[in-house]
Amino acid sequence: MILGGMMALSLQDYPGRAAMMLFTQGCNLRCPWCHNPGLVLPHRFDPPLSNEKVLHLLHKRRCILGAVVISGGEPTIQHGLEPFIARLKDLGYAIKLDSNGCRVQVLERLMERELIDYIALDYKLPLRLYHTLGKDVSSQVEASLRLVHTWPVEKRMVRTTVVPAVHTPDILAEMEEELARIGGAAPPHWTKNEFRPGPCVGDDPAG
């Protein structure tokens, strides 16, 4: 498990729990508006954190923290994700996973093994436009959206970072219709986050 960073305490990222945030290195997409180029672009990577040191810290902080949020980058491309989460569960932590939905098989295994307690799935664009993000993963993302909608609404979130130059009213309306079609009778629980200007993947010449 390649960890590129951590936040020792977050009171906002896991609903109702104090959490540590862990950020994995590497991503299989290249969203121009991504504000984590240091976790996406290999030439921007910092030396990875020691898994054992992170686990040791989490062991010591069990009386303070109730959850661990694993974000990225994209966690599901990490080969060591499942055994790492299993060790976190052994410590008694609730786990929230942030994912772009590109590897639905990994999400299915994590859910089947009850290794995650909450999932936030990034829904970036209408499925027909996913090829503009560096890879056509629309079928995987659609399958992940369907999978996430089988979970109780209190354990899931679909979210979109709204970039004014990209997410026009027509695009957002198309996404809303698409999400309603995919989710069926399940409430969509779609959260829209405001884009934060700053250094982004698209600003890097190698991005």
Summarize pLDDT for 14-58 with one digit per residue, the tens: 999 999 999 999 999 999 999 999 999 999 999 999 999 999 999
Q: The domain that contains 36 carries what CATH number?
A: 3.20.20.70
Show Cβ contacts of residue 103 under 8 Å, excluding neighbours closer than 6 positions.
Answer: 28, 76, 77, 140
- Cα distances from 185 to residues 9, 10, 103, in angstroms, run 36, 33, 24
pLDDT digits (tens, 9 = 90+) for 165-180: 999 999 999 999 999 9
Taking the mean position of all CA atoms in its chain, how far away is CA 177? Answer: 22
Question: pTM for the complete prediction?
Answer: 0.94
Domain enclosing residue 95, as ranges: 3-203
Count the residues in the chain: 207
| Partners of 21 in beta bridges | 7, 69
Cα end-to-end span (Å), the chain: 23
Asked if 49 contacts 5 with a C-beta cutoff of 8 angstroms, the reply is yes
Evaluate if residue 187 carries a pLDDT over 90.
Answer: no
- Cα distances from 162 to residues 143, 148, 194, 200, in angstroms, run 22, 21, 5, 14
101 sits in the region (left: phi over 0; alpha: psi -120 to 50; else beta) called left
pLDDT digits (tens, 9 = 90+) for 50-92: 999 999 999 999 999 999 999 999 999 999 999 999 999 999 9
Show Cβ contacts of residue 14 under 8 Å, excluding neighbours closer than 6 positions.
Answer: 66, 67, 69, 94, 96, 118
Domain count, the chain: 1
Q: How big, in percent rounded to 5, are the helix, strand and coil portions of the chain?
A: 40, 25, 40
Q: What is the pLDDT of residue 88?
A: 98
The structure tokens 């661990």 sit at 68
pLDDT digits (tens, 9 = 90+) for 94-130: 999 999 999 999 999 999 999 999 999 999 999 999 9
